Amino acid sequence: MSAYQIPTRPVRTEWIISRPAFRNGVEDVRAGRAPRFDEFSDDGWSYERGRLFAVLAPISMPLKIDGKCNPKAVHLYEAAVRRGYIQP
């Protein structure tokens, strides 16, 4: 492990999609806004994952339905991870 690498742990897809930084990343891409990486330095991974997901997901795909993670969004995110488009 590099001196700059932080320890990682597995998390559920629903946890990732529920992160405010993930949602902001998706919203920024969908709105055509420039990246705001410095604003999400405390949760930069979630923000970047959200930006990547927004490039793959249809713009009409909601992240949540009735307060719960959209199963189609979860499925698409997991497929993107398996294909190496998004890092786990």
List pLDDT tens digits, range 20-64.
999 999 999 999 999 999 999 889 999 999 999 999 999 999 999
Q: Determine the pLDDT at residue 64.
A: 97
- Residue 42 inside a domain? The answer is yes
- The tokens 């405390």 sit on which residue? 42
Q: Which helix (H) or strand (E) holds 29?
A: helix 20-30
On whether residue 24 sits in a domain, the answer given is: yes
Q: Can you give the residue range of the structural domain that contains 29?
A: 13-82
pLDDT of residue 41: 86
How many structural domains does the chain have?
1
Report if residue 28 sits inside a domain.
Answer: yes
pLDDT for the residue numbered 4: 67
Q: Say how many CA atoms lie within 13 Å of 44 toward its Cβ.
A: 7
The Cα 62–Cα 42 span in angstroms is 25
Extract the tokens encoding 27.
Answer: 């919203």
Its pTM surpasses 0.85 = yes
